[in-house]
Amino acid sequence: MMPKAPSKNKRAELRNRARMLVSCPDRPGIVAAVSRFLHEHGANIIQSDQYTMDPEGGLFFIRIEFDLPELESRLAQLSADFSLVASEFEMEWNINLASRKKRLALFASKEDHCLLELLWQWQSGDLDAEIVMVVANHDDLRGVVEPLGIPYHYVPVTPDTKAEAERRHLELLQAAGVDVVVLARYMQIISPRFIEHYPNRIINIHHSFLPAFVGGKPYQQAYNRGVKIIGATAHYVTEELDGGPIIEQDVQRVSHRDNVEDLKRIGRYIERTVLARAIHWHVEDRVIVHQNKTVVFN
């Protein structure tokens, strides 16, 4: 089953739509300046969400969706013109075409639940992205992936071959023009060198409610501690193990009757839904990273 194609009306709707993300020091006039700029360039604002972090001398964040006729051919000039506004307000910003689907590489090991959730959402047309490859350090999931027409790259990893494996990974990603790397229960630590190539574009699912139970065997850790709630965390990958900016989390109650295998079973559901939500928000340009936090316009 191949992914469903969007309707003609949906494609037409997105053809001239863009998403603007802005963060800057808070001060009066920011919204007015951005709105005036878009109006003067003939754009129609479809949606606008904003947030001020610490109104007293803090930071301002805004996400705007807008339509502009002949957008693709005008985007370069629009961006050049907006740089003047951005400079005045000390903005960090980007403008992304809604019609350009982000290209995802899914990394997996042996467990399939997070991978299957993303593949299912892609097949159903609910995930607005292109899955261009699956990379795995085990060959177990090939039979799930290849029938969908998605390339499956088996790259074994051992302590002695880790550097060579990551070199191969980067070759594959760069050749395919990958935008986002998704660690769908990929049970390997990513090196700083790899992370440098995809800052805030590697998303991991950690099977605990961070910052609790960082590292390996979090369900065993949770069981040993006798917790009454377990959870999962989707976050951007940084050099700090399981310490990157958090995008989404969720929890579920457990009891003393649940053993480690019960916690894992319950956790699999939380993991796949949390990761899927985080991927949706990232590919729809709903996440702004500030230091080690995120603002998510969901």
Domains of the chain: 8-97 (3.30.70.260), 102-296 (3.40.50.170)
Rounded to 5°, the CA angle 207-208-211 comes to: 135
Copy the structure tokens of residue 224: 């040993």
What was the pLDDT predicted at 4?
Answer: 66
Where do the H-state alpha helices sit in the chain?
8-15, 30-40, 71-89, 113-123, 142-145, 162-175, 192-197, 218-225, 260-283
What was the pLDDT predicted at 70?
Answer: 96
Rounded to 5°, the CA angle 282-184-275 comes to: 45
What was the pLDDT predicted at 55?
Answer: 64
Q: What's the whole-model pTM score?
A: 0.92
What was the pLDDT predicted at 6?
Answer: 57
Annotated active-site residue 139? The verdict is no
User: Which of 67, 112, 179, 242 is an active site residue?
Assistant: 242
What was the pLDDT predicted at 213?
Answer: 75
Query: What gap in Å lies between CA 111 and CA 3, rounded to an integer?
Result: 23
What was the pLDDT predicted at 284?
Answer: 98
**R_g of the chain computed on alpha carbons:** 21
Is the dihedral angle over the CA atoms 199, 103, 132, 186 positive or is it negative? positive
Answer for the pair 123, 1: CB distance below 8 angstroms, yes or no: yes
Q: Going from the first residue of the chain to its last (298 residues), give the mean pLDDT of each consecutive group of 10, the final group possibly shorter.
A: 58 87 96 98 98 83 98 97 98 97 97 97 96 98 97 96 97 98 95 96 90 81 90 95 94 93 92 97 98 95
**Tokens 């997070």, residue located:** 114
DSSP symbols for 75-92: HHHHHHHHHHHHHHHT-E
